[in-house]
Amino acid sequence: MFDENPITKRLGITYPIIQAGMAGGITTPELVAAVSQAGALGTLGAGYLTPVKMRDTIQKIKQRTDQPFAVNLFVPENPDFSQKKVSQANDWLEGIRQELNMEEPAQSPEINNDNFQGQIEVLIKERVPICSFTFGLPSREIVQRLKNADITLIGTATTVDEALANEERGLDMVVMQGSEAGGHRGTFLGDFEMSMIGTIALVPQAKDYVSIPIIAAGGIMDGRGALAAFILGAEAVQMGTAFVTTKESGAHPLYKQAIRESSEDKTAITKAFSGKPARGIHNMFMKNFDKVEQQLPDYPIQNELTKGIRKEAAKQNRPEYLSLWAGQHPRSSTEKHAKELIQSIVSQINSLVDGLTK
Ligand SMILES: Cc1cc2nc3c(=O)[nH]c(=O)nc-3n(C[C@H](O)[C@H](O)[C@H](O)COP(=O)(O)O)c2cc1C
């Protein structure tokens, strides 16, 4: 009943379940391929990858599956650069760097927006069937080029207006990212705080106003959440946190453990790691910046400033300084293989539907 709809047909998948592209090493080729092999849609989170690394990873995915998969990209932004803010942020980060025995950072991080253009070329050359975007809209020119290459395009929205902007730009379907969602907010039109709309309110309003198919995201961890999203009008669900703890995920073991031990009241929205609001498990790093986060440089400048710290913290097994992105529904996380997770979601949906129709 739920598994044949315009989204599954268009994407060529069996189940309307999308594993979110999660930049930063979580979406290993093993994870993406396992999800796609199981009949859902695996997504490579390529936001931070160079075009060369992205191409190599795509090739590794292709060696593992002949099923459709997606690549997720970040639409680049041009932040205002303030040397004063960078120096101040570096001063605030100094204590953590010392604790981790790190060297002085560069004072002016380099932001390279050419990366995005290179990533687009790789998508086309590698004939990636599906591409999803967050942090804004790709240009009309890029949309046209990707469409000419027969690539299905998925946008991200946190409000109905953003979904309409995706539709107008020519994207084929749109992820409605509710405020429960783990990771960065995709907000690109309105005020971040005013755009914190829960999935249960966001999805039906989008369904009523938007013509392209809707994918629900945020707090969906199992068949109950997925079925609820379908009833609200979504034709697929996108899940992030649930896949972070799977066996194939590349997340640090202490990050997986932190999600497994977390609860609905342990996550918060922070700009501390990247300069852009994102939801993660509240830890020491976030606490340090709670009071000054409005004074931090914008994304992606702050992201560049904290990159080395996160890398070093991972090496030294210090989760208090890692970005532990997670949604508001961590209690239902499991440590299954991705295939088992997908099978359990599907069988739970089927038994819930059976119960409803009895
Ligand atoms: C660890 C993590 C990393 C994420 N990275 C990305 C990303 O690179 N691109 C993107 O479009 N969304 C990203 N997201 C957001 C997801 O697309 C999705 O909106 C979110 O995971 C849904 O909420 P859930 O985590 O409760 O399932 C990320 C989410 C998590 C948990």
Q: What percent of the chain has pLDDT over 70?
A: 99
Task: Over range 195-206, report the average pLDDT.
Answer: 98
The pLDDT tens digits for 37-53 are: 999 999 999 999 999 99
Return the DSSP state at 41: B
Q: Which atom of ligand 1 is nearest to the CA of 241?
A: 25
The pLDDT tens digits for 230-249 are: 999 999 999 999 999 999 99
Give the pLDDT of residue 47: 97
Supply the mean pLDDT for the chain. 96
d(CA 133, CA 131): 7
Virtual CA dihedral for 139, 144, 149, 151, nearest 10 degrees? 60
Residue 182 CA to ligand 1 centre (angstroms): 5
For residue 277, how many C-alpha atoms fall within 13 Å in the half-sphere facing its CB?
A: 18
Cβ < 6 Å from ligand 1: which residues? 20-23, 26, 45, 47, 72, 134, 156, 177, 180-183, 217-220, 238-242, 244, 325-327, 329
pLDDT band with cut points at 50, 70 and 90 for residue 112: confident
pLDDT band with cut points at 50, 70 and 90 for residue 113: confident
Residue from 325, 333, 341, 345 to probe ligand 1 pocket by mutation (most atoms less than 8 Å from CB): 325
Give the pLDDT of residue 114: 85
The pLDDT tens digits for 340-357 are: 999 999 999 999 999 988
Give the pLDDT of residue 272: 98
Task: Over range 166-183, report the average pLDDT.
Answer: 98
Task: Over range 118-147, report the average pLDDT.
Answer: 98
Q: Which atom of ligand 1 is nearest to the CA of 240?
A: 21
Q: What percent of the chain has pLDDT over 90?
A: 94
Give the pLDDT of residue 78: 87
What's the CATH fold of domain 6-78+113-253+332-357? TIM Barrel (3.20.20)
Give the pLDDT of residue 2: 67
Give the pLDDT of residue 1: 52
The residue nearest atom 21 of ligand 1, judged by CA position, is: 240
Lowest mean pLDDT among 65-74, 78-87, 102-111, 310-319: 102-111
The pLDDT tens digits for 262-301 are: 999 999 999 999 999 999 999 999 999 999 999 999 999 9
Q: Is the pLDDT of residue 107 over 70?
A: no
d(CA 204, CA 214): 9
Give the pair of three-digit tokens for residue 138. 């790709």
Give the pair of three-digit tokens for residue 64. 């593992």
